[in-house]
Structure formats: C-alpha cells, structure tokens
C-alpha cells in the first residue's frame, strides 16, 4: 500500500506474525521514471524472511518492460502489474484501474511483461471492472491468455472505490476459470471475514490491506484457524505495543526527524487502528501535536488487559461493507 508498506512497516508486521508473502508499494513507471530507492529498500533489505513481490503501475509497455528487467536484478519473488488503483490522478492517465477501460492495451502489456519476466513469476492485481462488473468476463479471458502465475482480485469496480461489499461471486468465477491460483482481496477485517471470503470463493489465499494496519496479528489468527490451532487473543496493551514499535521503526529510517511531522505520519496509521474503539479515541488522536500527547492518548485508551475490539465499526468511512461476511 502506497505510503504504508515501506521498510519500517514491514519490519513491524514481521515482528507481530506477518504475512506469508508481501507486495511492495507500487513503483510508478513512465518515460522518466527510475526505480525509487525508498521503495527498493523494502526489497534489498527485506526484513520479513518471506518472499516479496515488486509491484509496478504504468501504461507504457516499453517502460514497464524496462522497469521489470531492472527489478529482476534484485531479490524479488515476482513482478506484479497494478490494474486496480482507483485514484483519479492515476486512472485518468490510463494506469492502474484506468487500464481496465483498455482491454487491448492490457492484452499487449501482459504479453510483453510475461515474456520479459521469463522464469520469474509474473502476477496481476486487478479490480473486476472500471464501471461495471459486466466487464470482468472479458478481462478474465485476457488474463487466461497470458500464463500469469497469480491473479489477485480486489472484488470491486474502480468506480466502487472502497465503500461497498465485494463481489465474491466474481472472485469465485475467476477461481473456477483461471489456470493459476487466485487470491481474494477486499474487506477482510478479522479472522471470521477472512475465513468466510475464502470459503465462498475457494480462493487459494487472501490479500489483506487495511485490516492488517488495524490488526497485524490477523495473518497469525487466520493461519491458526485454518490449522485448528488456538487463535492469538489480542489485548489493548498489545495494540499499544504495536503502536510504540511502529513509531520507533518509522522514526528510525528518517534522517531529519521532526517530532511533530512524525506524529502526523503516525496519525495516518492510527485512523485505521482506532476503528472499533470508543469514538473519543479517534477524536482525541486527531488533535495531538507532540509525541508526549500522542502516547498519552494511546495509553488512555489502550493501557489495559481487556481484549481489543475484534471488528471495526461497520459504518466507519474506512471499513464498510464487510458485514456480508459475518
């Protein structure tokens, strides 16, 4: 995730259980682009002991091939093409989710990138259409043509952004039709929602984004449930430790540390973490300016052995639609 899954965030995730496989933030690819050193560090210094896939976003075949060949020189588990980003500034340039309006161009890009990757896995992350789910059948047809190694599906259209339930029926259809493993993505916010999404789609696995910022133990909890082992119970104090660790790790990579600026950065993570707690937590954390104020508020709401809320609230702007899986 952009501005989230950087090196210090990966380090923190790994310390709290972590995923089986990671994907970098996307590398922007255009005629003047160079591999961004900051994102590259999450590959060259990958602290997770797990494979990491390098994701690219762009629409120019020559430039994407050039970048894939450069990325191949580094210890990556694969190259991924983003066909899902719904940000207008991206899709208006026909990159990310914008490419879903250009099936012929996707066809060309997948052909060129498959060839460029050679033995290295080539994977695709997509939404199910730009305007409408009706577009997905023909997109699947193109994905099938190019021997991709993995297809991750965020089960919404670009126009649906993040605010709807996911179309699990389309993910299921992709699972049935694709010769490669399909990963289901979108709205996994706790163990129960993850297991339900897996069950109704029969997907080979899950990709978890915002739910992992809120609860880094989610991977461990789902793995435990799948193997009938006891699932780790998360207390508020554990969440406090997680926030402290995230603060330290993210501060450690900044050469010109400015306390107030860093508190602002931490608030970007906190907007996810506070969901499901007393509404006062979100209100109070928005107003803090210093590190001391930040941790005073965190301790006020989290310094206890009570269980942390398992679910965010369904009507929050950041997490909605997941009750389809409850």
Ligand X SMILES: Cc1cc2nc3c(=O)[nH]c(=O)nc-3n(C[C@H](O)[C@H](O)[C@H](O)COP(=O)(O)O)c2cc1C
Binding positions for ligand X, rule: CB under 6 A: 1-2, 4, 25-26, 55, 82, 84, 125, 154, 185-188, 208-211
Q: Which is nearer to ligand X, 26 or 281 (CB)?
A: 26
Buried b (16+ CB within 10 A) or exposed e, 26-58: bbbbeeebebeeebbbbbeebbbeebbbbbbbb
Euclidean distance between CA atoms 86 and 307, whole angstroms: 35
Residue with structure tokens 């950041």? 318
Q: Three-state SS for 261?
A: helix
Burial class (CB in 10 A: 0-12, 13-18, 19+), 85: buried
Residue closer to ligand X (CB basis): 39 or 234: 39
- Smaller CB distance to ligand X: residue 98 or 211? 211
Minimum Å gap between C-beta 6 and ligand X is 11
Instruction: CB nearer to ligand X: give 42 or 82.
Output: 82
Shortest Å distance, C-beta 207 to ligand X: 7
In whole angstroms, give the CA distance from residue 141 to residue 133: 14
Q: How far is the CB of 101 from ligand X (least distance, A)?
A: 18
Q: How far is the CB of 22 from ligand X (least distance, A)?
A: 11
Between 143 and 295, CB nearer to ligand X: 143
Full 3-state SS string of 114-170:
HHHHCCCCEEEEEECCCCCHHHHHHHHHHHHHCCCCEEEEECCCCCCCCCCCCCHHH
Q: Is the dihedral of CA 40, 96, 213, 218 positive or negative?
A: negative
We find the least distance from the C-beta atom of residue 152 to ligand X, in angstroms, to be 8
Structure tokens given for 221: 């909890």
Order of all β-strands in the sheet with 78-83: 22-28, 52-57, 78-83, 122-127, 150-154, 182-185, 205-207
Q: Using CB atoms, what's the residue nearest to ligand X?
A: 209
- The nearer residue to ligand X, 67 or 185, going by C-beta atoms, is 185
Closer residue to ligand X, CB minimum distance, 61 or 87 = 87
**Comparison of 181 and 299: residue with beta carbon closer to ligand X:** 181
Residue 84 beta carbon to ligand X: minimum distance, rounded to whole angstroms: 6
Q: How far is the CB of 268 from ligand X (least distance, A)?
A: 8
**What is the nearest approach in angstroms of ligand X to the Cβ of residue 208?**
5
Q: Is 260 exposed, middle or buried (0-12, 13-18, 19+ CB in 10 A)?
A: exposed
- Token duo for residue 40: 């590259």
């Amino acid at each position: 995730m952009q501005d989230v899954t950087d090196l210090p965030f990966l380090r923190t995730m790994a310390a709290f259980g972590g995923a089986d496989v990671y994907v970098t933030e996307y590398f922007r690819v255009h005629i003047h682009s160079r591999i961004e050193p900051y994102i590259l560090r999450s590959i060259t210094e990958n602290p997770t002991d797990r494979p990491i896939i390098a994701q690219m976003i762009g629409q120019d075949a020559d430039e994407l091939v050039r970048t894939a060949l450069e990325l191949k020189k580094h210890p990556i588990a694969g190259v991924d093409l983003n066909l899902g980003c719904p940000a207008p500034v991206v899709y208006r340039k026909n990159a990310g989710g914008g490419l879903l309006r250009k099936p012929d161009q996707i066809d060309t890009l997948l052909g060129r990138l498959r060839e460029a990757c050679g033995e290295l896995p080539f994977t695709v992350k997509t939404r199910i259409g730009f305007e409408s789910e009706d577009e997905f059948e023909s997109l699947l047809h193109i994905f099938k043509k190019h021997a991709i190694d993995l297809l991750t599906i965020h089960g919404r259209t670009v126009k649906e952004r993040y605010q709807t339930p996911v179309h699990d029926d389309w993910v299921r259809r992709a699972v049935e039709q694709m010769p490669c493993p399909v990963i289901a993505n979108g709205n996994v916010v706790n163990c129960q929602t993850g297991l339900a999404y897996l069950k109704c789609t029969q997907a080979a696995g899950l990709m978890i984004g915002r739910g992992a910022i809120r609860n880094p133990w989610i991977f461990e909890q789902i793995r435990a449930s799948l193997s009938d082992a006891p699932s780790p119970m998360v207390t508020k104090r554990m969440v406090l430790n997680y926030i402290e660790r995230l603060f330290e790790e993210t501060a450690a990579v900044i050469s010109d540390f400015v306390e107030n600026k860093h508190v602002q950065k931490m608030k970007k993570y906190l907007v996810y973490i506070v969901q499901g707690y007393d509404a006062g937590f979100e209100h109070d954390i928005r107003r803090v300016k210093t590190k001391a104020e930040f941790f005073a508020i965190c301790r006020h709401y989290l310094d206890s052995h009570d269980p942390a809320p398992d679910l965010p609230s369904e009507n929050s702007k950041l997490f909605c639609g997941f009750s389809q899986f409850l």
